[in-house]
Structure formats: structure tokens, C-alpha cells
Amino acid sequence: MLNRISTYFFRRPNLVLAIFLIPPLLYLLVVYLGSLVSLLVNSFYSIDDFTGMIVREFTMRTYAQVFNITNREIIFRTATMALIVTIVDAMIAFPLAYYIAKFASPRLKTWLLIAVTIPLWSSYLVRVYAWKLILAKEGILSWFIHLFNLTDALDWLLGLPGIGGSSLSLSPIGMFIVFVYIWLPYMIIPIQTALERVPGSLLEASSDLGARPSQTFRTVILPLAFPGVVAGSIFTFSLTLGDFIIPLTLGNSKFFIGQAVYSYQGTGGNVPLAAAMTMGPVVIMVLYLLIARRLGAFDAI
């Protein structure tokens, strides 16, 4: 009996393929793309200011609201933060990923990869609150800064307009530190994977042909690791764009996109505006991917 079933499927490979592929495809289509489409549709509705009811008629009025001065600032602020976090994460991640991929012994490699991913085992919320305590005015970081007599430097940093605040935990600088920390593994792993796939003989060939290590880095390692950097930056950039817990917990009173969406649809009940606001990160990400493709990030895939 079992044999006959096996034979039946063996003779119909397309049926097997369909059985395996249709559920995830349906899921992708209905849940992912479906919700995106409903988001898009909703963003073209508007809310009746008087009754607070959603008016299901096509209008650009909501998008006009997205581009009012407050929301423009929110989008700009969030995108800037996402960009800086991404750049700094890439700069921190690259040397570590390079070391893990090309120099560490197999044993050390395992340990380093565990060390990189261990933070992901604990709750994101717990880690954010832990950082809130670390960065607080009476927190351990301040204590260290005091210990090394760097209090003046910290005060100067916190006094900077726009990014300062009353303490690290209540300033954009603090948010930035936590964002960099929280998304770092998502940058290390793709870069490490990309570098892992670069055969050692390519680096030897480059050196053999007369390239100094810095030239090999620029002309061989970096271009071949670039898809990994792009993959990592998609994570760090989009995760920062959409996050609302960290700005809520650590920042000052200035909104980020995530917070705005949260308050528009939650407190305000303005689903169309929240939807239109969400389209911001989607558009930014699409633009970002197009630019990355232009730069040849996906050529080697």
C-alpha cells in the first residue's frame, strides 16, 4: 500500500511540488501581499473629521496630510536614524564578520556565532528595558563615565541641540546606541555568509597579482561582500524604520514613524492616515532596493 502511494507520487513530480508549494504560496499571497494591498487601499480612504468614521471613497487627502510639516519631520527623522544606524552597524559588523568568516578556527567560529546570536534568544523588550537602565542618569554607564572623569564630555554631548537630552536614556543618542545594538546581529550574519562564500583562492590570486591588502579589500573583498551588506542593511534599515518600542521607551517626545502609526490608528482611530504613513517606509525600501540593484548588489546572486 505504502509502496503504491510512493510510486504514485514518484510518477507525478509536479503534484508533489504543488503539494509542498501551494500552502506557503497561499500564505504569502493572502497574508503578506493581501495585507499590503489592503494597506494601500486604506491609504486612499479618508476620515470624516466630524464623525470620525472612515469614508470609503478614493481621495488623495490623506496623502496630503502625510506630507504636512509634522509628518514630514517624523519621516525625515526616522529615515535619518535608520540610515545612520545602518551605516554604523555595517562598520561594526564588517570586521567581525570578516574575522569569523576568514580567520577564526572552526571551533572559535562556532563560539563567535553563538555569541552573536545569543541576544536574540532573550526578549527584545527585556533588552530594551535593560538598556534604559544602563543609560539612565543614575545608570551603570554614567557611573563608568564618572569614574573616568568624562562627565564633562557627556554633558557636552547631551547639550548638543537636536540629539541631546536630559540623560542618555532620554535622548536620540541613547536611542541610536540601542538601535545599533539591537539590530547588529542582523547585519553580522548576512555579511559573514557572503564572505564565507568567497573562496580563499580569490584573495590569494589578488595578492599574487600584486595587490596590496588594502587593494584586495577594495577590489575583491568589498564587492563580493556587498550583497551581504545590502541584505543586512535591508534588515537594519527597515527594522529601524518600523520600530516604535525603542523610540517610545528611550527617546524624547519627538515621534518616529512607528509611534505615529501607532497613535494614529490606535488612539486617533485614523486608519487611513496610519496606512498612508506606513506606505512611507514601503516606498523608501523600494527606492533603496532599486538603488542597491543599480550598484550591482544582486549581480553575484
Partner 1 sequence: MMNNPSAPAITFEKVSRYFGEVKAVDQIDLEVIDGEFFSMLGPSGSGKTTCLRMIAGFDRPTSGQIHLYGRDVSSLPPYERDVNTVFQDYALFPHMNVGDNIAYGLMVKNVARQERTKHVDEMLELVQLSGFAGRKPSQLSGGQRQRVALARALINHPKVLLLDEPLGALDLKLRQQMQVELKTIQKRVGITFIFVTHDQEEAITMSDRIAVFNQGKIEQIGSPSDIYERPASSFVAGFVGTSNLVSGEIAKHSTGSEQTFSIRPEKIHIGSLSDTPHSDMISMDGVIRDVVYLGLFTRYLVEIEGGVDLVVVEQNLKSTSMDVLSAKGQKVRLSWHQDHISRVGG
Q: Residue numbers of the site for partner 1 (CB under 8 A)? A: 199, 201-202, 204-212, 215, 219-220, 223-224, 296, 299-300
Return the number of the residue (193 or 207) whose C-beta is nearest partner 1. 207
Query: Minimum distance between the CB of residue 91 and partner 1, rounded to whole angstroms?
Result: 22
Query: Minimum distance between the CB of residue 231 and partner 1, rounded to whole angstroms?
Result: 16
Return the number of the residue (61 or 102) whose C-beta is nearest partner 1. 102
Query: Minimum distance between the CB of residue 204 and partner 1, rounded to whole angstroms?
Result: 5
Query: Minimum distance between the CB of residue 57 and partner 1, rounded to whole angstroms?
Result: 51
Return the number of the residue (49 or 208) whose C-beta is nearest partner 1. 208
Burial call 131-154: b when 16+ CB within 10 Å, e when fewer = bbebbbeebebbeebeeeeeeeeb
Query: Minimum distance between the CB of residue 94 and partner 1, rounded to whole angstroms?
Result: 17
Residue type (1 letter), 17: L
Query: Minimum distance between the CB of residue 295 and partner 1, rounded to whole angstroms?
Result: 12
- For residue 207, which phi and psi values (nearest 5 degrees)? -65, -40
How far apart are the C-alpha atoms of 264 and 282, rounded to whole Å? 18
DSSP tag of 60? S
Return the number of the residue (73 or 299) whose C-beta is nearest partner 1. 299
DSSP tag of 264? I
Q: 124 with 185: CB under 8 angstroms?
A: no
Burial call 197-206: b when 16+ CB within 10 Å, e when fewer = ebeeeebeeb
Can you list the pairs that 180-184 forms with residues at least 24 positions away whose Cβ atoms lie under 8 Å?
180/85, 180/88, 180/89, 180/92, 181/127, 181/131, 182/124, 182/127, 182/128, 182/239, 182/246, 183/85, 183/89, 183/235, 183/236, 183/239, 183/240, 184/89, 184/92, 184/93, 184/116
- What is the DSSP pairing of strand 54-55 with strand 46-47? antiparallel
Return the number of the residue (70 or 219) whose C-beta is nearest partner 1. 219
The whole-angstrom distance between residue 29's C-alpha and the CA centroid of its chain comes to 23
Return the number of the residue (105 or 149) whose C-beta is nearest partner 1. 105
Query: Minimum distance between the CB of residue 224 and partner 1, rounded to whole angstroms?
Result: 6
Return the number of the residue (186 or 226) whose C-beta is nearest partner 1. 226
Q: 43 with 276: CB under 8 angstroms?
A: yes
Return the number of the residue (154 or 211) whose C-beta is nearest partner 1. 211
Query: Minimum distance between the CB of residue 142 and partner 1, rounded to whole angstroms?
Result: 47
Q: 35 with 41: CB under 8 angstroms?
A: no
